[in-house]
Amino acid sequence: MSVHKDLELHAQKQNQLYQKFIGLDQQREKHIQEAVELCKVGKAFTTEQINEVTARINLLSNHRLIPSRKLVTPKMVEAYVDTLK
pLDDT of residue 35: 98
Q: Where is pLDDT greater, at 7 or 23?
A: 23
Give kind and range of the element (H or E) at residue 4.
helix 2-40
pLDDT band at residue 63 using 50, 70 and 90 as cut-offs: confident
CB 17 within 8 A of CB 59: no
- The Cα–Cα gap between 53 and 71 comes to 9
Domain that holds residue 49: 2-84
pLDDT of residue 1: 61
Q: How many domains does the chain have?
A: 1
Q: Where is pLDDT greater, at 85 or 45?
A: 45
- The Cα–Cα gap between 36 and 47 comes to 10
pLDDT of residue 6: 85
How many other β-carbons are positioned within 10 Å of the β-carbon of residue 77? 20
When the pLDDT of each residue in the chain is averaged and rounded to a whole number, the result is 94
